[in-house]
Amino acid sequence: MPVEPMRLSKVVAALVPCSRREAEQYIAEGWVRVDGRVVEEPQARVVNERVEVDPAAELQPPVAATFLLHKPSGMDIAEAQALLGAGTRWQGDASGIRRVKSHHAGLSVLLPLATPAEGLCIFSQDARIVRKLHEEGHLVEQELIAEVAGTIAPGGLERLSTGLAWKGRPLPHARTSWQSETRLRIAAKGLPMDAVPWMCEQVGLQLKALKRIRVGRVPMAGLPVGQWRYLAPNERF
């Protein structure tokens, strides 16, 4: 007589043993193998397959996830969000958060970068972070590295630092300094990214490339291009 397929979460609940909700979490967090293959769908059906729960399995508290991605230049924000998969997670991620598919639900794009720009991009489902960077984003300092060409006009750094008038309104004050002969560091709160090329032109420079390396107190640090990590529980923007 044919064996009736069983929902994987029901099998896991009997193996551990645990509640059905906990069984679904074990599966979603990648602790369960079916015939040696990790299966992350609690609704999967099994018949005679070998189901194993990792002996080291430990459920993590529910967490609203925030992704930090090093967006490559030339990639729009939708293409960048598509990089948030298991294969592009940075090996140096020290957040201690175990990736689950539910972390990708309801993500908000915060302080988005334009397609030509490279650098730190933020995607979050944490309501507190979404609210802070949507409503108070103009109060959060961003640090940029501008690759430039040309010769800066006398007093150019001071003009950039004290704020120029752009589209009829003054730009915020910025802290500017040379990182190298062709790289200008700009740190400011509420600076429109599309104003940076124009700012450079006003002091005799041509913007070649723009990279964001920090948002608030969160730096991009050693995060490789095209890879992501979780915002750690102790990090704050």
- What domains lie within the chain, and their CATH numbers? 6-53 (3.10.290.10), 66-137+218-230 (3.30.70.580), 141-215 (3.30.70.1560)
Which secondary structure element, helix H or strand E, spans residue 187, and what is its range?
strand 183-189
Which secondary structure element, helix H or strand E, spans residue 13, and what is its range?
helix 8-15
3-state secondary structure at position 38 = strand
pLDDT at res. 1: 56
Which secondary structure element, helix H or strand E, spans residue 166, and what is its range?
strand 165-166
Q: Interior CA angle at 86 toward 229 and 23, to 5°?
A: 105
pLDDT at res. 2: 65
Q: What is the pTM of this model?
A: 0.83
- Residue 157's Cβ-count burial label (10 Å; 0-12, 13-18, 19+) is middle
How many CB atoms lie under 10 A from the CB of residue 234? Answer: 6
pLDDT at res. 210: 98
pLDDT at res. 28: 82
pLDDT at res. 110: 97
Neighbouring residues of 116: CB distance < 8 A, sequence distance ≥ 6: 73, 74, 209, 210
**What stretches in the chain show pLDDT beneath 70?**
1-3, 163
